[in-house]
Amino acid sequence: MLEEFREYVRKWIRANTPEELKEKGSTIPFSGRYVDNLDELKRWHRKVYEAGLLGISWPKEYGGYGDDPIKELIAYEEFMKAKVPYGNPTAGIGMSIVGPSLIIAGSEDQKRKYVKRILTGEDIWCQGFSEPQAGSDLASIQTRAEDKGEYFEITGQKIWSSYAHLADYMILLARTGKPEDRHKGLTMFIVDMRSQGITVKPIRQITGKSEFNMVYFNNLKVPKENVIGKVNEGWKIATLVLNNERVNLSIPFILAAENALRNVLSNFKEKQKELELSILNLYATKLLYNRMLELYGKRKSPPGIEAAILKIISSEVLQEFYEFGVNNLDKETLIFEEPLSEASEFSLGLIASRAATIGGGSSEVLRNLIGESILKLPR
């Protein structure tokens, strides 16, 4: 049954992918390799959705297909193998963190207004959490939201906001209480990126692309119905968002690691022994991910601390395969130019995957979390 579905996805991709989108899929996470023509990407996104291949496990009442989450993983795998875009970047953040979090914590109006449009690719979302002085220590953010009676007025700055330059909406964490209240004085908002009072400035990355941005808010007015959950209870939503983010970042990491492993084995079959531990870790992570999917069922219960375990191992394994390739290949073959050769996938992967152990919570900080909440080590 699942194998039939896999075959259906393969055939569908072969029959429907337009020539200009072939090889454009982001097989290397954070590499910034997506098509420059956003309209074309959005049309493609809609087509994939209408074929029933996006939002497979999301609830039917909010535009999903209410089906088996394992099928979602199978579809993602097949799109990655075929190097064809699968909801990225049109719905990267919307699908990985905003949709799953709104389904659990959003009001009925918010779910009806926003969730389906993420799946259809009509709305692009970004995430406004990190600030120049608050990354790992998220509870120290300073962007302020003041209650002005009819609306909140927001002033401050965010950094590393992926896709903010393309986004229609941002999920934004801001301070509504006193700084000393730390995580107890935060509120989560939905911000319309077309509002007055927002300036977006791209940041250039090591890959030469600009996928993330600085975002400035100057007396931005946000309607009260755009609060997600309750005022001063944004930390609960932030935790939900971050756990969803960690799980959903891990999927492309695992699939990209599998791609990199295939490349490694086709070049260095004789050196497989040196990679034994990384290969074991990769498959253990995939089993853990499959098990988590089964446990969460149809996204009715949110992921917890195990998301941190998945993210640490998948991101570190990914880096190990790229590093192995770069260390073993002839250096002259490693220069990356489009279209990417197998060898240059390793070098681009190596630099792009530096981000994998930082974004969504650094490995060090996630290890602290596991130490505190699972192993009960002292803080």
Shortest reach from residue 33's CB to ligand FAD, in Å: 14
The whole-angstrom distance between residue 4's C-alpha and the CA centroid of its chain comes to 28
Residues in touch with ligand FAD (CB under 6 A): 30, 126-130, 135-136, 160-162, 212, 355, 358-359, 361-362, 364-365, 368
Strands 151-158 and 186-192: unpaired
Helices assigned H by DSSP within the chain: 2-16, 38-50, 69-82, 92-93, 99-105, 108-110, 116-119, 234-268, 276-296, 306-328, 342-352, 363-373
Q: For residue 285, what are the CA distances in angstroms to 6, 72, 137, 278? A: 21, 17, 27, 10
Residue closest to ligand FAD (Cβ)? 135
Task: Select 82 or 312, whichever has its Cβ closest to ligand FAD.
Answer: 312
Task: Select 128 or 156, whichever has its Cβ closest to ligand FAD.
Answer: 128
Task: Select 29 or 229, whichever has its Cβ closest to ligand FAD.
Answer: 29
State both tokens at 290: 């499959």
Task: Select 24 or 311, whichever has its Cβ closest to ligand FAD.
Answer: 311
- Between CA 140 and CA 138 the distance in angstroms is 5
Task: Select 127 or 278, whichever has its Cβ closest to ligand FAD.
Answer: 127
Shortest reach from residue 250's CB to ligand FAD, in Å: 14
State both tokens at 150: 């009819």
The number of helices, as runs of H, and strands, as runs of E, in the chain is 12, 8
Task: Determine contact, residues 80/23, Cβ cutoff 8 Å.
Answer: no
Shortest reach from residue 133's CB to ligand FAD, in Å: 8
Shortest reach from residue 28's CB to ligand FAD, in Å: 12
Shortest reach from residue 234's CB to ligand FAD, in Å: 13
Shortest reach from residue 251's CB to ligand FAD, in Å: 16
Task: Select 205 or 281, whichever has its Cβ closest to ligand FAD.
Answer: 205
Q: Name the residue with tokens 């956003």.
A: 38
